[in-house]
Amino acid sequence: MVENIKIEDIEKNLLNIHDFGVTYKGSYSLFKVWAPYSDNVKVAIYKTYDDYRRREYAMVKDSDGVWSLRIELDLKDQFYNYIVINHGQSYEIVDPYAKAATANSKRAMIIDMEETNPEGWLEHPVPMPVAPCSSLLYEAHY
């Protein structure tokens, strides 16, 4: 018997395995995007948000349709997009898994996520969950 598998279910399972988007680690950055039907994917790196000059790096596709690339450079505070090639057509797109982006999401930004934590973030206790039947929810309109 053949099961009907939805693309959304495949992507949901992959999200448990992969950290999509860019992961900044200081001496390198790891880029991952799920594009199973694309013929080719590259990362375009820009030094500034409005720069027209870019460096392009080819990504490698795995059997799950995940394209990835590790760039051994400190790219903190630089910007990037993906160049996706489908059926001979090239499209420059912002990372759908971007953790930071420029105004109007023109480009994604490579940031150190640990620098975004407010003071005391890691020491802050996580509140206990409240049972849904004990919750009071309000909706107000002006």
In the predicted model, is pLDDT for residue 91 greater than 50?
yes
- The answer to whether residue 61 is domain-embedded is yes
Residue 98 clears pLDDT 80, i.e. is over it: yes
Residue 122 lies in a domain: no
CATH of the domain at 27: 2.60.40.10
The verdict on residue 123 lying in a domain is no
106-135 average pLDDT score: 88
C-alpha distances (whole Å) from 32 to each of 11, 15, 19, 80, 119 are 13, 11, 7, 12, 29
Asked, for residue 38, whether it belongs to a domain, the answer is yes
pTM flag (> 0.85): no
Q: For the chain, what is the mean pLDDT?
A: 88
- The whole-number pLDDT of residue 2 equals 42
Q: How far is CA 28 from CA 6, 21, 110, 115, 120, in A?
A: 34, 14, 11, 16, 27
Per the listing, tokens 């790096």 go with 57
Q: Which domain holds residue 88?
A: 7-117
